[in-house]
Structure 1
Amino acid sequence: MFEHARCWVNGQLVPAEQASVSVFDHGFLYGDGIFEGVRFYNKRAFRLPLHLKRLQRSAAALQLQIPHEEVFIQAVYAVIEASELQDGYLRIIATRGVGVLGINPATCKEPGVIVIADQLQMVSDAERAKGIRAIITATRRSQPDRLDPRIKSLNYLTSIFARMEANFAGVEEGILLNDRGCVAEGTAENIFIMRDGELLTPAPTEGALAGITRATVLELAAQLGIKTRETVLTAYDLYSADECFFTGTGARLIPVREIDGRKIQTCPGEAYQRLAVAFADLVHQETTSLSP
């Protein structure tokens, strides 16, 4: 099951089957911690500095003291080097650490730090080629005045509930709205639509993660001459879109062919195809021409 997994736990490289955390770790007990997902290609992590910057911001929001980014860089490349994989997925985790039972974080004196390297495929090649089906879920995304979705915390129950709804509906993905009924994001991805030649996506203030791949797609779209805009989207906008696709570190770019039984006009659409090619080219460029 963990044939390709390699782990770094609190300063030590260990086999995946031996990796463990204390049952008193508040990350395990209460989801009190943060994480980042990072892709690596050709043994090089893609846009790692941006991920580590976001990790630091999540830590600041939770008042979680984590090691200097150099510790994470060393850990990341230790597990990549130990892995047999040329291309794979990293999970970087920082927990509040071990403390007594009870939610008081003051009892945790030292954070737990874990880095995992393994494979991750969110959809099959066939699904990516033809596009996936999605539903708008009843589960709503939390508003920023509660737990801000820009914090990548270890508590993903909202996304899990939404994904369960998608499973029950027999489709591949779920789309969450915010409390105002406006589009936030997928269960683990940002969402884009094309309408009248313009690429539209919800702003993070609508409940969307400030995704690294999302930002990269916006950057590439500008280079390709595709007009972009952060805006408020509703279910109507999704149903009537010319194109729709998800983006994320795990997902990369995935086209959507159907939402709530309504077929999207084109899938995969022209903008998606241009951006997917540009994204692949960028990954190749940044992971073959730069030093780790």
Structure 2
Amino acid sequence: MKIYLDGKLVDRADATISVFDHGLLYGDGIFEGIRIYGGNIFRLDEHLERLEYSAKALLLKMPWSRKEIADATIETCRANNLQDGYIRLVVTRGVGDLGLSPWLCPKPSIFIIADKIALYPAEHYTKGLEIVTVATRRMNPAALPPAVKSLNYLNNILAKIEARQAGALEAIMLNDQGYVAECTGDNIFIVHKGEIITPAASQGALKGITRDAIFDIAKEIGVPIREANMTRYDVWCADEVFLTGTGAEVIPVVKLDGREIGDGKPGAVFAKVRESFRRRVLTEGTRI
């Protein structure tokens, strides 16, 4: 496997960063998870735009243009003969001292990994997931805006641990007002009375690239869609529930907190969304 690291393709064993890199010491950095389908990098430009926004929010000055990062991403996929898989693009603050001060890190680092990923077992994409609500609350947007896709993921990891302890593969995280924010690694959508509803970013949800695609798909299939405050009750009583994310793609949920969603099977709206999504991933983006 070849890893892109600061301008060069290196072997996996040689892809190392300094122990003084602030991405490691303090989680001071940003990342994007990106999918490639049949040689098409899905919505690459949108991912790189979000990367730029995250960098701006953290005052992390990236010395590379969007085209340079796109070219490096394509080069990494080609070097690994990757036609279908997952791309992890990471930018760290770079090497500094043992203090917090980011201005003492003169040069950021970038690395790109292109490999395979399987977030959930294949059978759950047809049968659906059984998930739970966990006690760990989603971080308040006033503390760390969820739109920033940073290397600080302990909040989500703690919730993921709770999910595993409860015997579930995924979990809903509530915000500090008790509204549904998102899952540990996915955005959440419900279908209720013919309408698709999802939490707003202001409630703690990441502005997911796949999430954005669902808004486009909803228009295509003629189903109303909106953002709204959502409680666990709303999810329990939904007709359908599905999750989205770059790693998860689009996956149905059939049970939350021991309560069946709808008739306990993936629904008709989800089926239409999944069909449209599978078509789009082959055409919307950048060919390698």
TM category (shorter chain) comes to over 0.9
Deviates more, 1:79-88 or 1:271-280: 79-88
Which residue, 217, 221, 245 being the options, matches 2:218?
221
Note if contact 2:203-2:229 (Cα within 8 Å) is conserved in structure 1.
Answer: yes
Unaligned runs of 5+ in 1: none
C-alpha distance in 1 between matches for 2:247 and 2:138: 20
Which residue, 171, 175, 178 being the options, matches 1:174?
171
Q: Secondary structure at the match of 2:282?
A: helix
Which residue, 261, 265, 271 being the options, matches 1:264?
261
Q: Secondary structure at the match of 1:223?
A: helix
Aligned to 1:13: 9
Aligned to 2:80: 83
Q: Secondary structure at the match of 1:84?
A: coil
Deviates more, 1:65-74 or 1:186-195: 65-74
C-alpha distance in 2 between matches for 1:177 and 1:161: 13
| Post-superposition offset of 1:246 | 0.3
Aligned to 1:284: 282
- Determine what percentage of the aligned residue pairs are the same residue: 45
C-alpha distance in 2 between matches for 1:35 and 1:285: 24
| Post-superposition offset of 1:291 | 4.5
C-alpha distance in 2 between matches for 1:154 and 1:71: 22
Pairing of 1:141-152 with structure 2 (within 5 A): 141-152=138-149
Note if contact 2:42-2:282 (Cα within 8 Å) is conserved in structure 1.
Answer: no
Q: Which amino acid aligns with 1:129?
A: T
With normalisation by structure 1, the TM-score equals 0.96
Show structure 1 runs of 4+ deviating over 4 A.
none
Pairing of 1:65-76 with structure 2 (within 5 A): 65-66=61-62, 67-76=64-73
C-alpha distance in 2 between matches for 1:54 and 1:247: 17
Which structure has more RCO (C-alpha within 8 Å, separation ≥ 6)? 2
- The alignment's C-alpha RMSD in Å is 1.1
| Post-superposition offset of 1:193 | 0.3
With normalisation by structure 2, the TM-score equals 0.97
Note if contact 1:6-1:118 (Cα within 8 Å) is conserved in structure 2.
Answer: no
